[in-house]
Structure 1
Amino acid sequence: MSSQPKEVVARLLENTSNASVMEELVAPDATYISLCYSNPPLHQIMAHAGQHAEKGPQAVISTFANVNKIWAMEDFQIEALFGEGSDVAVFGRFTLRSRTLGKACTSPFSIHCKVEAGQVTYMLFMEDTFGTGATFEKAGEKTYEVESGKAIKL
């Protein structure tokens, strides 16, 4: 098994449902950040959202387990994976479908990892949270005001 940072991250992304591989590849004191640092309303919808400082592999394992619980992953494409030193970046797209309402969303994603001694010590996962969260919208109308006096109803 390679301990090169890019290969470590690629292997992690190929084994998101394999807890033993995740425990091998994620440092015991790793920090994982999913979608935001802190957003209590978002955390109510997506329990994995937020910063999991020094929670190690369990934070990553539980995130992917929760994602699988609430969505069916229909497609996951890595479009670019590159790095320099301990830093690795991944860009791609995925399509998921909410298990409750059957709504689908295709979202870009980006991941930033730091890998030291063959283990991920830091992972930040970003996506189109507005789009993925909308797969759970059941009813109602929302009004947004981006510019003063200009309401947008969705």
Structure 2
Amino acid sequence: MSSSPTEVVRSLLANTSDLATLETLIAPNATYISLNYRNPTLQKILPYAGSHPTEGPLAIFNTFATVHKIWSQEAFEILALFGSGGEDVAVFGRFTYRSRTLGKASTSPFSIWAKVVEGKVTYMQFMEDTLDTTSTFKVGGVGRYQVFEGQEEFEV
């Protein structure tokens, strides 16, 4: 009996540290996108960030292994998980991670878009509030911003 696309994605999220299980749920040439397409600056903080085309289960396994190495997970809650009736699956939720280096916590919303074809995830994109999650590693300094033309600059 084959699993529905939503069941496949739910099982993937429940087994991110089990490579053998991920290999049964994710196509060998699946694409995984974590947080952005490519951002070398962000990759200095979160080395798994960016596009991982055709890297399959290992890309997702390595991402979550690194996440658990640099943060302790205090909460991971799926608020909504649904499918289109076809191959698309959406997941919305929130998590709280605490940096292992500085002990700072971040509670962030997250969203996932996955495609499941013939019982295997072939594409997965994971998004979160990276400004907040990366702040758990910030030890000093400020950034200067100006959003609107003519607006006074501000520091964060």
Q: Which has the higher strand share?
A: 1
Q: Which residue of 2 aligns with 1:64?
A: 64
Identical counterparts, % of pairs: 58
TM-score, normalised relative to structure 1: 0.97
Matches within 5 A, 1:1-150: 2-84=2-84, 85-148=86-149, 149-150=151-152
Distance 2:142 2:43 in 1: 21
Shift of 1:73: 0.7
Shift of 1:147: 2.0
Distance 1:29 1:3 in 2: 20
Distance 1:70 1:147 in 2: 35
SS at match of 2:146: strand
TM-score, normalised relative to structure 2: 0.96
Q: Which amino acid aligns with 2:17?
A: S
SS at match of 1:147: coil
Question: How many residues were matched structurally?
Answer: 154
Q: Residues 26 and 56 of structure 1 are in contact (CA less than 8 Å); yes or no, is this contact kept in structure 2?
A: yes
Distance 1:2 1:129 in 2: 35
SS at match of 2:61: helix
RMSD value, Cα: 1.0
Q: Residues 98 and 135 of structure 1 are in contact (CA less than 8 Å); yes or no, is this contact kept in structure 2?
A: yes
Distance 2:21 2:119 in 1: 12
| Alignment gaps of 5+ in structure 1 | none
Shift of 1:87: 0.3
Q: Residues 2 and 8 of structure 1 are in contact (CA less than 8 Å); yes or no, is this contact kept in structure 2?
A: no
| Alignment gaps of 5+ in structure 2 | none
SS at match of 1:91: strand
Q: Which amino acid aligns with 1:55?
A: E
- Higher deviation after alignment, 91-100 or 135-144: 135-144
Q: Deviations over 1:100-149 (max 9, x none)?
A: 00100000000000001111000000000100011110011221111234
